[in-house]
A and B are shown apart, each in its own frame.
Chain A
């Protein structure tokens, strides 16, 4: 069965420092991977997705994610964190069976301190 794990409940970084939010996956076949962000009291917003091609995917708000097949990881990165990046981040993988619905991780809270 497809699954995705976010090993950190919370990540703390200082403003201006690079940030990484980790995600590992388990799928049979080629994975379709996604990152969504949830700001306080808001619905989720799409950041980026990997389906095929370049292992480095660029997305919204300066975020990017690196697909690593050998490590089965899809970590979210940003070179310089902003306080406004503080939010809850979800990694998701496409379920290859049936409808292809997304299976979401449990979420990682990113806290960027001034």
Chain B
């Protein structure tokens, strides 16, 4: 089944404790993105990748890191999480561009205390 998976689905952590949210897709998609969803703000892009070893900042990259060492995986790293990073996070992938249908993962709800 074609899908985007994210882990963990739920995470409660404390300020400053490094964490990684994994994202994997099995559709051989070139493009991958991380978004955060906050009430009243819609989705905002954090980082994106157009291919292996090609990543760039989105609209709200502060406090986040990413890597794309393999085509299928695109982990999101919070080196020192802060409470303002409490949010719902989505990973998405698409075939050749953002114009193509984006497939979204199920989301990761992160709470930073």
Contact = CB atoms under 8 A, between A and B. Distances in A.
Interface of A: 32, 36, 41-46, 49, 51, 90, 94, 99-102, 104-107
A18 B33 CA distance: 34
B58 A44 contact: no
The 4 A-B pairs with the shortest beta carbon distances in the complex, nearest first, are A43-B104, A46-B101, A104-B42, A104-B43
Contact of A101 (B40, B42, B45, B90): B45
Interface string B88-106: 0010100001110111111
The binding surface of chain A is classed by DSSP as loop
Interface residues of B, number: 24
Nearest to B4: A43
B74 interface: no
Given A42-B106, A99-B48, A99-B50, 4 more contacts: A90-B42, A100-B97, A102-B45, A105-B42
A105 B105 CA distance: 19
A14 to B, nearest CB: 26
A83 to B, nearest CB: 22
Contacts of B33: 101
A105 B97 CA distance: 20
A4 to B, nearest CB: 9
